[in-house]
Amino acid sequence: MRLLPLFLMVAVALSACGIVESKKIDYKSAQKAPTLEVPPDLVAPTADDRYAIPDTQGGGTATLSTYSQERKATPAASTTLLPTEEKVRIERAGSERWLVVQATPQQVWPVLKDFWQENGFIINKESPATGIMETDWAENRAKIPQDVIRRTLGKVIDGLYSTAERDKFRTRIETGKDGTEIYISHRGMKEVYTTEGKDQTKWEPRQPDPELEAEMLRRLMLRFGVEKSRADALLTQQQQPEQARIVQDAGVPVLEMDEGFDRAWRRVGLALDRVGFAVEDRDRSKGVYYVRYIDPDIDNASKRDDGMLAKLAFWRSKKPQTSPQLQIVVSEAGEKSRVSVTGTDGKPADDKTRNRIINLLHKELK
């Protein structure tokens, strides 16, 4: 205790010498990434021959100049290059934006995985077959107040500070007419007090942040080789408002959208990601998304810290996800499109579920 005042004085002095501007986004996952280990029976990786000693037998040359010329004459092994600036563009419909990259999904997938990991996220789910990649919950450390003590102690004991918000992102890719389409959707949770004495809290969903999605798209464009000035210009282009409304079709509520099938299909897929539906499969030729609703409490359970005793209670089982599969059908209606909700195999869904989903989609697409 005697040393505490002296330590604080030193902390203030040190922090005054190292003040840096905090970033807008600085994510740190709530979970630690698994350590990669090479299995013992795995074949050893192929060695790079850039530093191999040239063979001097059989009349071969060993001078540095000759060896360098021989390497320049030998074609390098083919590698997958990132798309150039001209091959990446941004599309928009209303407030929604997505990237179109002139590359195959197989080329885009590893770039996306590296992108999220470089930004401080852990990949929680990935399904190349359905083109969906989802991060784990993470905290934006840039929202922590940067006072003098925080800047100093945070370098030593960073875990002492946290925010009351968590974010996760879902990336969905589809093969379009002009290349691979990349969609990024945000989901957020916030910690709120449940008692007047503020001694108990719970996590509840918060509204998706389109500006946060746009920032991630901008960073992803930079990852694909687009210059910063061009990426900023593409994101700030004038938006064209789109409209959607709930109408009756034979006494059944459906969502009518003022756009053709292609754009309606893209926007509905992005809206499903935002409102918390797990897209298990999709069939664009039939205009059908096969989805299940994700319970926010179950989805948020992965980041809860229940303490050491709760972690030792391995016999406790988590509540299973038992929501039924539904079909979100997008169909053409002249120059417009309509979105309807059905149950399994096209059977009618119950009125409460159907109306709730239609209202959720309308809120996102109107």
Residue 64 confidence class, pLDDT cut points 50, 70, 90: low
CA distance 221 to 235: 10
Tokens coding 91: 């599309």
Alpha-carbon separation of residue 131 from 5, 204, 285, 292, 343 (angstroms) = 56, 28, 16, 16, 23
CA distance 63 to 330: 68
- Site of tokens 């992965």: 302
In terms of Cβ atoms closer than 10 Å to its own Cβ (0-12, 13-18, 19+), residue 210 is middle
Edge-to-edge strand list for the sheet holding 326-333: 244-249, 252-257, 336-342, 326-333, 288-293, 277-283
Going by C-alpha positions, the residue among 270, 101, 67 that lies closest to residue 177 is 101
In this structure, of 28-32, 94-98, 241-245, 251-255, the range with the lowest mean pLDDT score is: 28-32
Which class would CATH give 242-302+320-366? alpha beta
CA distance 134 to 132: 7
Q: Which fold has domain 81-241?
A: Alpha-D-Glucose-1,6-Bisphosphate; Chain A, domain 4 (3.30.530)
State pLDDT tens for residues 186-240: 999 998 888 888 888 888 988 888 888 989 999 999 999 888 888 888 877 655 5
Going by C-alpha positions, the residue among 311, 291, 309 that lies closest to residue 301 is 311
Instruction: Give the residue ranges of DSSP H helices in the chain.
Output: 3-17, 64-73, 105-118, 148-156, 210-223, 228-235, 261-275, 296-300, 307-312, 351-365
CA distance 199 to 115: 38
Predicted local confidence at residue 161, as pLDDT:
57
What percent of the chain has a predicted confidence (pLDDT) above 70? 62
Going by C-alpha positions, the residue among 93, 90, 136, 121 that lies closest to residue 25 is 121
Predicted local confidence at residue 297, as pLDDT:
57
Predicted local confidence at residue 288, as pLDDT:
94
CATH 3.30.310.170 boundaries in the chain: 242-302+320-366
CA distance 109 to 365: 27
Identify the three-state secondary structure at position 42. Answer: coil
Tokens coding 19: 């003040």
State pLDDT tens for residues 87-143: 888 888 766 789 999 999 999 999 999 999 999 899 999 999 999 999 999 888 777
**Secondary structure, 3-state, 74-126:** CCCCCCCCCCCHHHEEEEEECCEEEEEECCCHHHHHHHHHHHHHHCCCCEEEE
CATH 3.30.530.50 boundaries in the chain: 81-241
CA distance 245 to 78: 51
- Predicted TM-score (pTM) of the model is 0.55
Residue 330 confidence class, pLDDT cut points 50, 70, 90: very high
Predicted local confidence at residue 112, as pLDDT:
96
Q: Who contacts 81 (Cβ-Cβ below 8 Å, separation ≥6)?
A: none
CA distance 128 to 105: 9
Going by C-alpha positions, the residue among 208, 33, 215 that lies closest to residue 136 is 33
What percent of the chain has a predicted confidence (pLDDT) above 90? 27
